[in-house]
Structure 1
Amino acid sequence: MSLKAIVTGGGSGIGLAAAHALARKGMTVACLDVNPPGDPFIGIKVDVVDDAQVRAAVTEAAERLGGIDVLVNNAGIGAQGTIEDNPDDEWRKVFEVNVFGMVRVARAALPYLRRSEHAAIVNTCSIAATAGLPDRALYSATKGAVMSLTLAMAADHVREGIRVNCVNPGTADTPWVARLLDAAGDPEAERAALNARQPMGRLVSAEEVAAAIAYLAGPEASATTGTVLAVDGGMHGLRLRPTR
């Protein structure tokens, strides 16, 4: 059985790692991105803020794949600052990608998912949905919306045989985080602070997040829906005593 999957934001970071993880499970994968990858994936260029583009890209992916069994809703962008720092236009932009983008892609994929016997949607959320992080007000708001959206979608579509879950990564070693570190006044000190924030003492890798996505997307997770799976080095649940 070869399942067909589409991954948004599949051009780099967690999305590209997820595409590789799904391919290793035997899935055929289409990557939808503003800069999509090539072989071994089906690369389709799309901007998730444009509904017409999204519908066309999902239709093309379904035609080239021969259906859709799995959707990994991963496309997203970041933002820094408190509520005073980001203007309204930036709030709209980040919500357009991180929340409305997921809605557009899932909406376009649902007719194909309903025909699958192994339908699954996995949304990429964030530890920012459950932990108050400084200077992440806008980003956290979008990820809180993604987590609530995941649970609502799971309830809406469980009787159609479509499972919906999300993964909450901690701070991950991705190109976006690398750019933030490069822009910091002291990149090494900033990296050390991010490492120390997670109880395991290091950043999460894109491949570790991808492994969780691939599990939730696969038939072995057939009894799992409405779940929020943290891959965060223990950040969500652990409260360690300070070292001396």
Structure 2
Amino acid sequence: MPAQISFELPHAVAVSGAASGLGLEICQLLVDNGVYTVGVDLTDAAAQLKEAHGYHHVSGDVTEETTWQAVVNRLKDSGYHSYGLVTSAAILDVGLVTENTKAQILRTFDVNVVGTALAMKALIPLMVETGGGSIVAVASVNASFAEQQLALYNASKAAVRQLARTAALDHARQGIRVNVLSPGAMMAGLFQRHLESAADPDLFHKTRAKRQPVGRITSARDVARAGLFLLSNGAGALIGSDIIADGGLTTSFDFRTGEEGASI
């Protein structure tokens, strides 16, 4: 057996956007590790989690306070007193800002930003009551690096990043650790839908994969593992940190594949 190190996770964790993509992967890992997991999504629980021991689902809109009160009630009912939160619910509309309707603009910020803020508003008091907790706010590399045709998504994720970093300062002395997880493209969820919206999805995929130092799009499972690390006490020294989980995409301003004639 190879050498291993173990970190402790919160006993009960709420995860928004639990029915697909990164949220689903995080829920699966939490359940596999014996964590009482409350998944939150507009839709029903994913098929692989419906009968999973330790998984509990709240169907509801993350922009409604009643949804988060239901989550708090579930966590209290768990009998545990060590809590975590991962806010991975998000929507993405591809298009120019000149093409977006006011309804689209409001909905993007409602889900991506307001949903994150309401989650914190509901769970931080519960964490304070029990001596602390860990929060992972899922932003994106798009919070710092602009990407064409994603103006609303980029702006909303930048807001999530600063919301989380400020909350980290405001609540650090109450035992609350808030950090940011910023994925790049993942073969799941939002990127998958972005890919499918392209005129030539195969070409889009190949072009984006070539930008990655490893030559492939990062898996959602690998990003989910980074999220669990931030939840755990292994990340105890991290407060307000932004962990870039993008497979090296933003490590350089460019990645040379050799096709352009450069020496590598």
Flag whether TM exceeds 0.5 (same fold): yes
Partner of 1:226: 240
Residues of 2 paired with 1:182 and 1:65: CA distance?
A: 43
Taking structure 1 as reference, are residues 242 and 206 closer, same or farther at Cα in structure 2, changes over 3 Å only?
Answer: closer
Matched, 1:11 2:19: yes
Partner of 1:126: 140
Residues 10 and 36 in structure 1, CA contact (< 8 A), matched pair in contact too: no
After TM superposition, the structure 1 = structure 2 runs for residues 79-228 of structure 1, keeping only pairs within 5 Å, are 79-117=93-131, 119-228=133-242
- Cα deviation digits, residues 101-134 of structure 1 (max 9, x gap): 0111111111211133451000111010111211
- 5+ residue gaps in structure 2? 1-7
Q: How many residues align?
A: 244
SS in 2 for 1:233: coil
Residues 58 and 105 in structure 1, CA contact (< 8 A), matched pair in contact too: no
Counterpart among 91, 114, 117 of residue 77 in structure 1? 91
Tell me which amino acid in the other structure corresponds to 1:39: E
TM-score by length of 2: 0.86
Residues 167 and 229 in structure 1, CA contact (< 8 A), matched pair in contact too: yes
SS in 1 for 2:129: coil
Matched, 1:39 2:51: yes
Residues of 1 paired with 2:79 and 2:223: CA distance?
A: 24
Residues of 2 paired with 1:68 and 1:91: CA distance?
A: 36
TM-score by length of 1: 0.93
Q: Which has the larger radius of gyration?
A: 2
Residues of 1 paired with 2:193 and 2:245: CA distance?
A: 21
Instruction: Please tell me the root mean square deviation across aligned C-alpha atoms, in Å.
Output: 1.8
Residues of 2 paired with 1:154 and 1:36: CA distance?
A: 31
Residues of 2 paired with 1:126 and 1:77: CA distance?
A: 12
Residues 182 and 243 in structure 2, CA contact (< 8 A), matched pair in contact too: yes
Matched, 1:27 2:35: yes
- What's the offset of the Cα at 1:156? 0.4
- What's the offset of the Cα at 1:138? 0.5
Residues 96 and 150 in structure 2, CA contact (< 8 A), matched pair in contact too: yes
- What's the offset of the Cα at 1:63? 2.0
Runs of 4+ in 1 over 6 A off after TM superposition: none
Partner of 2:5: none
- 5+ residue gaps in structure 1? none
Residues 105 and 152 in structure 2, CA contact (< 8 A), matched pair in contact too: yes
